Each structure stands twice: as structure tokens, then as C-alpha cells.
Amino acid sequence: MFIPLWRFRHSMAPRAWALTGGVGLVILAAVMQVALPWPLKVVVDNVLQSSGKPPENALLRVFGAEGMDRLQLLTVALAGLLVFTLIYAGASYLGSRLLNGVGERITASIRVDVFAHLQRLSLSFHDKQRLGDLVTRTTTDVDYLRTMIISMMAVLVPNVLILGFIATICLVVDPAFALIALAVAPLLFATVLVYRPRVKSASRAARSKDSDIASAMTETFSSVRAMQSSTSEGRHEADFRDRNIARMNAGLRLVRLQSALSPLVDVIVVLGTVLVLWVGVGRVLDGTMTLGLLLVFLAYLKALYDPMKELAKLTTVISRGQVSAERLLEILSTAPAIVDRPGARPAPRLKGAVELREVSFGYAGSEILHAINLRVEPGQMVAIAGPTGAGKSTVVSLIPRLYDVTHGSVLLDGIDVRDLQLATVRKQISMVLQDSILFRGTIYDNIAYGADHPTREQVLAAAEVANVDEFVRTLPLGYDTPVAERGVSLSGGQRQRIAIARALVRDTPIVILDEPTSGLDAISEQYVMRGLDRLMIGRSVIVIAHRLSTLRRADVIHVLDHGRIVETGSHRELVAANGLYSRLDGIQHAPDIPRLVKPLPTAVGMTPLSTEFGTGP
């Protein structure tokens, strides 16, 4: 039970004092609860039932109340009752506040740990994950874990102590009778033991169904556009209904288990009470026990069974919390696949030579790239062309070590990337992808995002060069315009220009472009291309391209097919060779002489584009 908690000790350790204080206070409250019936016994046995001078007994001796008259005894007993109650109330209030406060802090810290760890996990991990599942783990599972931690401190610890105290007192005062009172305890524990595994498995099922629902949400609402335009709402809804019913059934099973537990415990408790009353009343009648003591026993019986009931109920909370703890530990104990090798050194400022030497790679098992050899000299522009699924994106993702090669090596300035510290390598590579995702924040933040503390001048200069300035000027809030999540409030071309500005701010020697102009119309493409031209100056560029406008300008083109480089050469050479390249979409019909591009309106402050680049097919 405590093993999963132990794994979260780092989050709990800084709060050890508050935890200890909180537990101390709830223990004090428990002691007061144990003390509460005794003043009542004094009232019944010594005030109500004795005539004249109260008899001597051990309890009065303990409190120095021997020799008091009845009125004095009544006053002392009632004052005691009040004081015990006040201490009990104060301690349980403060204890519960302290523990719940600590609980919130522990959860906050665990949540950050999980988030930070998730971020560090490699793409190979995230490829396999569903977003919704990760969301439920960092939210609901962390909450369940907190409830478990708090319950263990605020319910388990004091109740186990109360049980211990009361059992001891009863055994000391009247051992035979105590054994009768405790007779049903084994029955209670047996019930709990039987229930625990069932509740746990039901919780586990419910948690996994929760993740299914969250995944359905994230998958559907991250593609609302596609869903609505293909009128597939019905299918999504049916799927959601199914998952929801599965969750409901798992929840119902848990409810059935929980509902049965409490009445079962009640029945066992009444059995115990009947037993105690039967024997106790007999003993009071034949004078072997005082009425006051019977009352104490009855009060204790309740005080005994309440914690047992609490503990039985706690079964659910603890089982649920354990399942959540396991789900969180599953994440926390996954090591990032891509880490610095021991002895990896910081990358020097790279000149930009990139080489893939005999590189093979597969995502999971089957090999996708086979013995790729490819060189990019500093400042060179190398294009990768080929049919969809040939492995082009996979090739470029190996350069910043988003994945590690299975065989061969990736070299930067002649050094194996795995011998360099990951962060220092990635800081020197910029990527502009097909569809750039922006982050929630302003346009300014989105440009500044790539670099460590760029100056305002650097950000604005990059924005100017990337043609971001041109559309930002028309926005009332300018660079402070907030961007909606994933950048949906901007057009594809505008997002690409921001991504290029981001790469410019980063100012890296190596730039990777993965079809950055695909899906753009001719005019947008020209704006983006102008930005890209500036980005490429003096840098090594690896570009995945379909468009002739890009392919024509590359120093070398590698044609990839089924994970192998099948042709290499310049555009002209490859067209002349009449191989796969010449049969790629758009290549065969392309005139060898670039088409003239209609000049852009000069009103936006741009000089007409040179005619060197066609708009592609």
C-alpha cells in the first residue's frame, strides 16, 4: 500500500514538517475522542449512583478528584467534557486544514513533475500515446492520488491509533469483556480484505475508460474542421456514446461494490453491539460491572466501529488512489529514449556540415530507412524528393535526434550527434514544417519562442525579413495580437511566415524545411519563399520539396523511394536521366524554363520577386 507513495517521496519531503504537524494534530484529536466517555462515567457512577461520599476509585485518583463532593465532581466532569471537546474540535480543524493544504501542495508538485517528465520523453514514446490519456493522468489521477494521501494521513493514521488506544484501554479495564467487544473485528477486516482487490480492479477499469473518453474528446475537437466538412459528426457521436456507455458500466460496477460495503459493515457492527449489550446488561444486573463502565464500553464500541467503518470505506479511496499512483508511476518511470551519452560534450558552434552515413532506421521493428548516405556541405542546399511515404520526413527527423538511428550514424561537422549534448545540438538546428503550429500567446511571443531571450530588435528584424511585418501592420494590436491555440486564427501562409521569423531569431547554422510551402496558394507561397530565401543565406539547408521552385535551386537533390536513395543529382541532371524523379508529380510537365511570376503589388512594400523561381505545378 505504501510502496507507490514512497516513490513520490520527493514531492512530500519538503512538506515533511507540515505533514508531521498535521498528523500530530489529528492524533491529538483522536486521543481526545478516546477520553470523551470518561467524564460521563464519573457522572453516572460517582454522581448519580453513589449516596453521600463518592466511593474511591482509580479514575478519580488519576485526576486527583478523590474526596470531592458530588457537586464538585459533577463540575469537574462536565468541565472535563467541555475541555476535551474543545481540544478535539480545535485539533481536528487545524489538522485537517494543514493536511489538506499539504495535499494541495504535494499534488501541485507531482503534477509539474509528471508534465516536465512527459515533455522530456522522446517522440517514440509520444507516438504511442493518446493525448486524452495523458490529460486524465495529469489531472484526475493526480487528484485521486492526493485524496489517497490525505485520507491515509487524516483517516487511516488516527483511526488505527484510536482502534489501538481503545482496544488497549478496554483490555486493561475488563479483558474478558473487551474480547467480547472486539469479537467482530476479524469479520470486519475479512470483509475489507475480500473487497479490496475487486474495488481495485473496478477502479482500474473505470480509469482506463476515463482515458478513452478524454481521448475521444481530444481527437474529435482537434479536428473539428475535418469532422464537420466531412459530415462525420454522427460517427464521432456514436463512438463517443459507446465509450461513454463503457465508462458508465465500469462506474456502475464500482458503485455496486461501494454500496454493498457500507451496509455490510453496519450489519457486522450491530452484531457486535448486540453481543456487548447481552453480556454487559447481564453483568450490570448481577453487579459485576458498573452502569458507567457499560456506558463507556458502549461509547467505545461506537468509537471502535466508526474507525473500522471509515477504514472499510477507505478501501475504495486507497484502491482508487493506488491505481492512479500506478498510472502516474508508469509515466515517471519511463526513461526518455534519447538522452545524452555519458561523456557527451557540448556541441561547438557548428559550421553546418551534415552527413548521414549508412543510416538505417525503423520506428518499431520493421526498417523504414535502408543504408542512407547523404552529405550537406556548410552553406549548401540539399533537397529530398520522392513519393509520399518514402521516408523523407523520417530522414530529417534523425538530424536533431528526434529519433536515434538503428545503424550507421548522423554526423554534424564530422562528429556523431550522439557524442554531443542533445540540447546543444538542437539549439543549432531550426525546423520549418509543412504546417506550423503556433502556441497560445502573442505573435511577438511566437517569434521570440525559439531563442533564449532575444532582444526586441532581433525579433522585429526577423519579422521584417520573414514578411510577418507586412500583415502584422494591418492588425490593430500589431505584434501583441493574441494567437488562438494552434494558430487557427491565422492563415497557413501567415503561420509559415511566423515560423520562418522564429527560425531567423534562432539564427542556427542548420535549417531543415519540410515542405514549408505545400498547401499555400501562389501569392502566399511567394511571400513565404522570400522569407525562406533570406533564412537560407549562409546556412546549410535540407529541404523536403515537391515544388519545382524549390527543387530547381537545390545544389543536390536526393530522390528517396521505399527508404532508399535511388537517384542523386541536380534538377537538370535528374530530368535528363528520365528516372523516378522525372515521373514525380508535376515534374514531367514542367517547362525547363521557369515561368514568369506576376509581380506582387508594390503597395505592400515589396519589390517584385525575381523571375528565377516558378510557382510550381
- Determine the Cα–Cα distance for residues 261 and 329; give it in Å rounded to an integer: 29
Q: Which of 571, 610, 554 is nearest to 379 (CA)?
A: 554
Nearest CB to ligand ADP, comparing residues 63 and 125 = 125
Q: Any idea what the Cα angle at residue 187 is, between residues 186 and 189, rounded to 5°?
A: 65
| Closest CB 588 distance from ligand ADP, rounded Å | 20
391 lies in the binding site for ligand ADP (CB under 6 A)? yes
| Closest CB 420 distance from ligand ADP, rounded Å | 24
| Closest CB 617 distance from ligand ADP, rounded Å | 18
CB neighbours of 137 closer than 8 A, spacing ≥ 6?
114, 211, 327, 328, 331
Phi and psi at residue 355, in whole multiples of 5°?
Answer: -140, 130
CB neighbours of 253 closer than 8 A, spacing ≥ 6?
202, 205, 206
Q: Binder to ligand ADP among 159, 191, 319, 394 (CB under 6 A)?
A: 394
| Segment interacting with ligand ADP (CB under 6 A) among 68-76, 298-306, 326-334, 386-394 | 386-394
Q: Which of 126, 127, 130 is nearest to 118 (CA)?
A: 126
> In the numeric block, which cell numbers belong to residue 122?
522522446
| Closest CB 226 distance from ligand ADP, rounded Å | 19
Q: Binder to ligand ADP among 148, 184, 254, 368 (CB under 6 A)?
A: 368
- Where does residue 483 rank: exposed (0-12), middle (13-18), buried (19+ CB within 10 A)? buried
Question: Residue 157: how many CB atoms within 10 A of its CB?
Answer: 17
393 lies in the binding site for ligand ADP (CB under 6 A)? yes
Nearest CB to ligand ADP, comparing residues 329 and 371 = 371
| Segment interacting with ligand ADP (CB under 6 A) among 24-32, 383-391, 467-475, 520-528 | 383-391
| Closest CB 395 distance from ligand ADP, rounded Å | 7
Q: Print burial letters for 429-456: b (CB count within 10 Å at least 16), e (below 16).
A: bbbbbeebebeeeebbbbbbbbbeebee
Q: Binder to ligand ADP among 12, 44, 390, 425 (CB under 6 A)?
A: 390
Report 123-152 residues binding ligand ADP (CB under 6 A).
Answer: 127
Kindly list the distances between the CA atom of residue 334 and the CA atoms of 110, 118, 329, 423, in Å, as whole numbers in the listed order: 15, 9, 8, 20
Q: Any idea what the Cα angle at residue 92 is, between residues 89 and 96, rounded to 5°?
A: 140
| Segment interacting with ligand ADP (CB under 6 A) among 70-78, 151-159, 256-264, 392-400 | 392-400
Enter the DSSP assignment of 433. -
Distance of CA 70 to the CA centre of its chain: 65
Report 456-495 residues binding ligand ADP (CB under 6 A).
Answer: none
How many residues bind ligand ADP (CB under 6 A)? The answer is 11
Nearest CB to ligand ADP, comparing residues 85 and 393 = 393
> In the numeric block, which cell numbers belong to residue 453?
531571450
| Closest CB 363 distance from ligand ADP, rounded Å | 3
Grid-cell match 505533514, residue found? 19
Q: Binder to ligand ADP among 119, 388, 602, 607 (CB under 6 A)?
A: 388
| Segment interacting with ligand ADP (CB under 6 A) among 153-161, 183-191, 388-396, 531-539 | 388-396
| Closest CB 384 distance from ligand ADP, rounded Å | 8
547 lies in the binding site for ligand ADP (CB under 6 A)? no
Report 108-127 residues binding ligand ADP (CB under 6 A).
Answer: 127
- Determine the Cα–Cα distance for residues 608 and 599; give it in Å rounded to an integer: 5
Distance of CA 283 to the CA centre of its chain: 61
| Segment interacting with ligand ADP (CB under 6 A) among 161-169, 234-242, 390-398, 445-453 | 390-398
| Closest CB 393 distance from ligand ADP, rounded Å | 3
| Closest CB 119 distance from ligand ADP, rounded Å | 18
Distance of CA 236 to the CA centre of its chain: 25
Phi and psi at residue 451, in whole multiples of 5°?
Answer: -115, 165
| Closest CB 126 distance from ligand ADP, rounded Å | 9
- Determine the Cα–Cα distance for residues 513 and 504; give it in Å rounded to an integer: 13
| Segment interacting with ligand ADP (CB under 6 A) among 260-268, 313-321, 391-399, 442-450 | 391-399
Residues recorded for the chain: 617
Helix axes 16-35, 157-173, angle to 10 degrees: 30
Element (H, E) at 401: none
Enter the DSSP assignment of 330. H
- Give 93-110 as a DSSP string: HHHHHHHHHHHHHHHHHH
| Closest CB 383 distance from ligand ADP, rounded Å | 13
CB neighbours of 131 closer than 8 A, spacing ≥ 6?
214, 215, 218, 219, 222
Q: Binder to ligand ADP among 336, 389, 482, 601 (CB under 6 A)?
A: 389
363 lies in the binding site for ligand ADP (CB under 6 A)? yes
Q: Binder to ligand ADP among 204, 209, 392, 401 (CB under 6 A)?
A: 392
| Closest CB 397 distance from ligand ADP, rounded Å | 8
Nearest CB to ligand ADP, comparing residues 169 and 559 = 559
- Determine the Cα–Cα distance for residues 32 and 39; give it in Å rounded to an integer: 12
| Closest CB 428 distance from ligand ADP, rounded Å | 23
| Segment interacting with ligand ADP (CB under 6 A) among 53-61, 142-150, 384-392, 452-460 | 384-392
Nearest CB to ligand ADP, comparing residues 320 and 392 = 392
Nearest CB to ligand ADP, comparing residues 389 and 538 = 389
Residues of this chain that interact with ligand ADP (CB under 6 A) are 127, 363, 368, 386, 388-394
